[in-house]
Amino acid sequence: MKGLKGKNVLITGATSGIGQAIAAHFATEGANLALNYRNDPDKLDDTKELIEQMCDQVRGCGGKEVSVEGDVSEEADIIRMCQETIAKLGSLDILINNAGIQTAASSHELETSDFDQVIQVNLRGAYLCAREAIKHFLDRGNSGIVINVSSVHEIIPRPQYVSYSISKGGMENMTKTLALEYAPHKIRVNAIAPGATATPINSWTDDPQKRKEVESHIPMGRAGTPEEMATITAFLASDDAAYITGQTLFVDGGLTLYPDFLKPWSAGE
Ligand code: NAD
């Protein structure tokens, strides 16, 4: 894809699932990577192995790869992580706000601390990372890219997951607000909204029976793969998407198309 080679990219939550696939895909595009992990650098082992495998397939990638520790629910960590990225790579061109968590509970029973934690990681953390990246983009004389990894639950209400739904709903407005505010500075802000994707965040990923049940609700009849999320993330960050800002691209096999309407609701229709 145009414009990714040699770009410096920070990916939050790069140890697993979609973040890991995004890291490997950007590596194959020749980007330099700052891979975010929490606490234990060994958590990046699988990501590094995947990057190596994918780079072998394309006979080497050529980009740099550094690790940056940080908990995105902590402001001080975010500031340090962004500064470290800039120090290690020389600058930052693309931020991928991918780290995310979810907690399930009936909304009337949800603990305040669980509510706060989800908002703090998924929404406040993404905003603070964007804030630090944008400061840097402006300091060095404009231009830069933020991609938020949102969810179909940006627009589909998800009972039992009210904090997750609120966090992703908020992310939609954050994407639009930042995109509008910084468009004159050539800073683009977009989001991808994955549908059900086979990653460790979902208990059904490795359970064939549960997975079948989940996939029965998806118009295209299957879950998405982390790689399918990674390629669209790379597209939005590339020069091929140079005129797109403030948008959420749904990558969901048709999940947001009101699947219940696939079959007529009453005889005679
Ligand atoms: P995952 O659990 O495999 O990965 C989540 C990543 O976020 C991990 O690397 C984890 O270490 C990191 N993380 C969590 N809390 C963190 C914190 N406080 N600080 C730093 N890193 C932290 O899940 P995934 O499916 O790859 O999720 C990635 C993103 O995709 C999330 O934002 C999630 O909401 C979104 N998403 C996933 C799906 C899906 O079905 N898998 C669907 C829609 C959206």
Counting from 1 in the atom list of ligand 1, the atom nearest the Cα of 226 is 26
Label residues 240-268 b or e (16+ Cβ within 10 Å = b): ebeeebbbbbbbbbebbeeeeeeeeeeee
Q: What share of the chain is helix, strand, coil (3-state, %, to 5)?
A: 45, 15, 40
CA 229 from chain centre, in angstroms, equals: 8
Q: Which is catalytic among the residues 37, 127, 164, 182? A: 164
Confidence of residue 269 (pLDDT cuts 50, 70, 90): low
Provide Rg for the chain, Cα atoms. 18
Domains of the chain (ranges, CATH numbers): 8-250 (3.40.50.720)
Q: Is 58 or 54 the better-scoring residue by pLDDT?
A: 54
pLDDT at site 142? 85
Question: Nearest to residue 7, comparing CAs of 83, 59, 75, 85?
Answer: 85
Rounded mean pLDDT, 188-203: 97
Under 8 Å between Cβ of 190 and 244: yes
Using alpha carbons only, what angle is made at residue 199 by residues 250 and 19, rounded to the nearest 5 degrees? 70
Q: For ligand 1, pick from 10, 11, 15, 18 the residue to mutate: most ligand atoms within 8 Å of CB.
A: 18
Q: How far apart are CA 105 and CA 99, in angstroms?
A: 21
Minimum CA distance residue for ligand 1 atom 9:
13
The pLDDT, as a whole number, for residue 268 is 65
- 38 touches ligand 1 (CB under 6 Å): yes
Q: Does residue 73 line the site of ligand 1, with CB under 6 A? A: yes
pTM (whole model) above 0.85: yes
State yes or no: is 127 an active-site residue: no
pLDDT of residue 143: 95
In this prediction, residues 117-121 reach a mean pLDDT of 98
Q: Is the pLDDT reported for residue 184 higher than 60?
A: yes
Residue 141's Cβ-side half-sphere holds a number of Cα atoms within 13 Å equal to: 0
- Checking if the pLDDT of 10 tops 80, the result is yes
Q: How far is CA 269 from the centre of its chain?
A: 41
Taking the C-alpha atoms of residue 191 and residue 90, their distance in angstroms, rounded to an integer, is 25
Helical ranges in the chain per DSSP H = 17-28, 45-57, 75-89, 112-119, 125-139, 162-182, 208-215, 226-237
* C-alpha distance across the termini of the chain, in Å: 45
What local confidence, expressed as pLDDT, does residue 60 receive? Answer: 85
Confidence class for position 86, pLDDT limits 50, 70, 90: very high
Q: How far apart are alpha carbons 137 and 232 in whole angstroms?
A: 23
Backbone φ, ψ for residue 68 (5° rounding)? -130, 125
Residue 266 reports pLDDT greater than 90: no
Query: What is the pLDDT, as a whole number, of residue 216?
Result: 96
Cα 71 from Cα 86, distance rounded (Å) = 17
Name residues whose C-beta falls within 8 Å of residue 268's C-beta, 6 or more positions apart in sequence: none
Is 267's pLDDT higher than 80?
A: no
pLDDT value of position 167: 98
CA of 23 to the centre of ligand 1 (A): 13
pLDDT of 179: 99
pLDDT tens digit sequence for 199-210:
999 999 999 999
Q: What is the average per-residue pLDDT within 179-207?
A: 97
Surface-to-core class of residue 137, CB atoms within 10 Å of its CB (0-12 exposed, 13-18 middle, 19+ buried): buried
The fraction of the chain above a pLDDT of 70, given in percent, is 99
